[in-house]
């Protein structure tokens, strides 16, 4: 008997007449309110149209495990001729589902099982991002992100964006990276803000500038995230490096010059992938429109980030990022400056200008 959560797939979007990329189940229970899910087609077996007609006649529905939602959605992208924009929205819906399933759980109910399910789902979703972004350049990704519909909770959109940027920045910085390393880069970016589960929504959703007390509270999210991923029994799916992902979660607000938090690590003391994530986090935070602030242009953002080179962000990784981006976007001179306490988590209604 299979346990867990299951969903009913769209019958018109099931993979048939070829090896199934996910397991299929039926509910064999005849007792209302008591489910008994039985696997009928394992991954790799073929569901024919004739098989499906017979199953529908006998059981009404087939089911897929919730942890395989990503595989189901990726199969839709692969086999049912969706446009690029539709593929992104399909994958984004998977990503939003996994974020929603963990952010909407009470903090004291975030069990090891929930963390492990999130890691499983995250890997599947990130695999979809990696496949989708194979032919993308960083500048194309920015344009793609600009075309996505927004969720009303900024943290969700930001996590998805940072994941995709991490994939491409990591590939750019590490050309010989293995598939698992690239997926870990995307998973680290996707989960970098998982510790915000413990931050009150009134702080996360605040429109204006955070008070000193609120900012101190939000600065605790890397530690909270590390604690979630350090629980006994937390384990990632095959190929996922939970220790590495945990370092990204814990260190993505460390600054290259040692002025960051939570432990003031400096330079190469900071995990390489955390330094990649810091650049993705920074860039998305200032180029994405929020309810209280207009986004900077890419040109303005690049110029502004250049002022943080070797201070907030790794100079070598940033130089590679900058060189790639300026193949299309030229740096735009401006009098924008960062406040001394600038942080991607601190709402900025308007950046300072000199002169």
> For the chain, what is the radius of gyration of the CA atoms?
22
Could you tell me which of 291, 321, 292 has the C-alpha nearest to residue 306? 321
Q: What is the pLDDT of residues 7-20, one digit of tens each?
A: 888 888 899 999 99
The average confidence (pLDDT) of the chain is 87
pLDDT band for 1, please (50, 70, 90 cuts).
Answer: very low
pLDDT at 332 over 70: no
Tokens for 110? 């975030």
User: Looking at per-residue confidence, does 89 or 284 come out higher?
Assistant: 284
Instruction: Give the phi and the psi of residue 102 in degrees, each rounded to 5.
Output: -100, -35
| pLDDT at residue 165 tops 60 | yes
More confident residue, 342 or 46: 46
The predicted-structure confidence for 126-150, as pLDDT tens digits, reads as follows: 988 998 898 888 988 988 888 776 7
The per-residue pLDDT for 42 is 94
Residue 350 above 60 pLDDT? no
Q: Is the pLDDT of residue 352 over 70?
A: no
Cα–Cα nearest to 123, from 196, 194, 193, 188: 188
Q: Domains of the chain by range and CATH?
A: 6-67 (no CATH), 82-353 (1.10.3210.10)
The pTM score is 0.85
**What is the average per-residue pLDDT within 332-346?**
72
Confidence band, pLDDT 50/70/90 cuts, at residue 354:
low
**Lowest-confidence pick of 84-88, 221-225, 285-289, 319-323:** 84-88
Cα 92 from Cα 108, distance rounded (Å): 27
- pLDDT score of 348: 59
User: Does residue 210 carry a pLDDT above 90?
Assistant: no
Indicate the range of 264-273, 310-319, 335-344 predicted with least confidence: 335-344
Q: What is the mean pLDDT of residues 151-168?
A: 91
3-class DSSP string for the chain: CECCCEECCCHHHCCCCCECCCCEEEECCCCCCCCCEEEEECCCCECCHHHHHHHHHHHCCCEEEHHHHHHHHHHHHHHCCCCHHHHHHHHHHHHHHHHHHHHCCCHHHCCHHHHHHHHHHHHHHHHHHHHHCCCCCHHHHHHHHHCCCCCCCHHHHHHHHHHHHHHHHHHHHCCCCCHHHHHHHHHHHHHCCHHHHHCCHHHHCCCCCCCHHHHHHHCCHHHHHHHHHCCCCCCCCCCCCHHHHHHHHHHCCCCCCCCCCCCCCCHHHCCHHHHHHHHHHHHHHHHCCECCECCCCHHHHHHHHHCCECCCECHHHHHHHHHHHCCCCCCCCCCEECCCCCCCCCCCCCCEECC
Residue 78 pLDDT grade (very low, low, confident, very high; cuts 50, 70, 90):
confident
pLDDT of residue 293: 64
Q: Tell whether the model's pLDDT for residue 26 goes beyond 60.
A: yes
Is the pLDDT confidence value at 256 over 80? yes
pLDDT band at 91 (very low <50, low <70, confident <90, very high): confident
Dump pLDDT digits (tens) for 269-326: 999 999 999 999 999 999 987 655 678 889 988 988 998 999 999 999 999 999 999 8
pLDDT value at 333 more than 70: no
Q: What is the Cα–Cα distance from 122 to 106, expressed in whole angstroms? A: 20
Tell me what pLDDT residue 188 has.
98
């Amino acid at each position: 008997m299979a346990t867990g959560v299951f969903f009913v797939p769209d019958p018109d979007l099931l993979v048939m007449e070829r090896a199934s990329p996910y397991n299929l189940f039926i509910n064999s229970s005849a007792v209302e309110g008591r489910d008994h899910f039985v696997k009928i087609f394992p991954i790799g077996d073929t569901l024919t149209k004739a098989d499906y007609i017979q199953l529908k006649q006998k059981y009404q529905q087939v089911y897929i495990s919730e942890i395989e939602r990503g595989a189901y959605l990726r199969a839709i992208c692969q086999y049912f001729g969706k446009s690029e924009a539709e593929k992104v929205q399909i994958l984004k819906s998977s990503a939003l589902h996994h974020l929603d399933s963990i952010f909407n759980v009470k903090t004291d109910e975030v069990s090891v099982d929930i963390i492990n399910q999130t890691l499983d789902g995250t890997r599947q979703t990130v695999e979809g991002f990696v496949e989708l972004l194979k032919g993308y350049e960083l500048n194309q990704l920015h344009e793609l992100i600009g075309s996505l519909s927004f969720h009303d909770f900024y943290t969700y959109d930001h996590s998805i964006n940072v994941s995709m940027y991490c994939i491409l920045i990591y590939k750019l910085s590490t050309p010989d990276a293995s598939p698992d390393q690239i997926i870990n880069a995307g998973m680290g970016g996707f989960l970098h803000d998982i510790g915000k589960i413990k931050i009150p929504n009134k702080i996360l959703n605040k429109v204006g500038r955070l008070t000193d007390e609120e900012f101190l509270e939000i600065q605790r999210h890397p530690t909270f995230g590390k604690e979630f991923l350090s629980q006994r029994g937390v384990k990632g799916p095959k190929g996922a490096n939970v220790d590495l992902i945990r370092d990204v979660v814990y260190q993505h607000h460390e600054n290259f010059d040692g002025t960051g938090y939570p432990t003031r690590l400096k330079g190469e003391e900071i995990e390489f992938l955390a330094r990649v994530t810091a650049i993705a986090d920074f860039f998305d935070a200032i180029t994405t429109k929020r309810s209280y602030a207009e986004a900077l242009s890419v040109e303005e953002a690049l110029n502004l980030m250049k002022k943080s080179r070797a201070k907030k962000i790794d100079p070598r990784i940033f130089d590679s990022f900058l060189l790639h981006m300026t193949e299309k976007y030229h740096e735009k001179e401006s009098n924008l400056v960062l406040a001394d306490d600038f942080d991607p988590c601190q709402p900025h209604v308007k950046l300072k200008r000199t002169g």
